[in-house]
Amino acid sequence: MEYITDQTQITSLFQDYGVFAIVWYVVIAIALWRVFSKAGYPGILAIIPIVNVFILVKVAGYSAWMTLLYLIPIVNIVFSIFVAIRLGQRFGKGGAFSFFLLWLFAAIGYLILGFGGAQYTKRA
């Protein structure tokens, strides 16, 4: 009988975090919508789960094919740091801003880029 109760507790836990995950996804989508719009891409692409990563890599100045590096363990962590730093450069932000607010606390950084005064500059 303990197994049934344990399973119920796990299900209840996932239901609570599921609501948090949906709210988190909506916040990220709103922030990326603004970032994509500033970069000249359709903002609606921020809603589509895999496509938003492809567009984010393109906004950072890399080829969309480079997104496949996210599939390789360990390389994906290093590449995500590169994308964050390059994205910060495109919006005129420094390395510390890029590392901490675009990689470590991405939601805050995307909101600052999207709703702040930062202007996007294309790759030279």
Domain boundaries, the chain: 2-115
Q: What is the pLDDT of residue 56?
A: 97
Q: For the range 20-27, what are the long-range contacts, defined as Cβ-Cβ under 8 Å and sequence gap of 24 or more? A: 24/107, 27/107, 27/111
Q: Rounded to an integer, what distance in angstroms lies between the CA atom of residue 15 and that of residue 48?
A: 23
Q: What is the pLDDT of residue 38?
A: 96
Q: How far does the chain reach from its first CA to its final CA, in angstroms? A: 66
Cβ atoms of 60 and 53 closer than 8 Å: no
Q: What is the pLDDT of residue 5?
A: 60
Q: Which of 64, 63, 62, 106 is nearest to 82 (CA)?
A: 62
- Give pTM, 2 decimals: 0.85
Digitized pLDDT (tens) for each residue of the chain, 124 residues in all: 456 566 666 677 677 788 888 999 999 999 999 999 999 999 999 999 999 999 999 999 999 999 999 999 999 999 999 999 999 999 999 999 999 999 999 999 999 999 999 999 987 6
79, 119, 54, 65: CA torsion to nearest 10: -60
Q: What is the pLDDT of residue 18?
A: 80
Tokens of 4: 């049934």
Q: What is the pLDDT of residue 19?
A: 83
* Placement of tokens 């675009």 in the chain: 102
